[in-house]
């Protein structure tokens, strides 16, 4: 049978270790979610690393503000899938 003191000490050690690992590995730094590349006036491309692979979306014939809204929605959905 596990006592409360033993459980609390292991829980504290595990949570402290996880926080330390995230800080050391750089996971706590906020990196840009995606890069926007605009090589020509008619194409806008989003590049992002998600689900363990490189992903890109290319939009044609759309203004930049609408493209950014679409990219934000796609990046949010991909982040949700990545969390699963």
Per-residue DSSP letter, 46: E
- The span from the CA of 72 to the CA of 57, in Å, is 12
pTM listed for this prediction: 0.56
Place of tokens 């006036």: 41
> pLDDT tens for residues 52-74?
888 888 999 888 889 889 888 98
Q: Which of 21-25, 28-32, 36-40 has the highest mean pLDDT?
A: 36-40
| Backbone torsion region of residue 13, taken as left when φ is above 0, otherwise alpha when ψ lies between -120 and 50, otherwise beta | alpha
Q: Who wins on pLDDT, 59 or 22?
A: 59
Distance CA 26, CA 33 (A): 15
What's the average model confidence in pLDDT over 14-23? 61
Which pLDDT score, from 0 to 100, does residue 79 have?
85
What is the arithmetic mean of pLDDT over 3-28? Answer: 61
Question: What is the spatial distance between Cα 4 and Cα 16, in angstroms, rounded to a whole number?
Answer: 18
């Amino acid at each position: 049978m596990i006592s409360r003191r033993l459980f609390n000490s292991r829980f504290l050690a595990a949570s402290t270790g996880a926080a330390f690992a995230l800080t050391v590995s750089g996971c706590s730094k906020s990196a840009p979610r995606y890069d926007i590349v605009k090589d020509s006036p008619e194409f806008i491309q989003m590049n992002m690393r998600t689900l363990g692979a490189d992903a890109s979306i290319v939009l044609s014939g759309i203004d930049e503000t609408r493209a950014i809204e679409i990219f934000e929605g796609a990046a949010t959905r991909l982040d949700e899938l990545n969390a699963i």
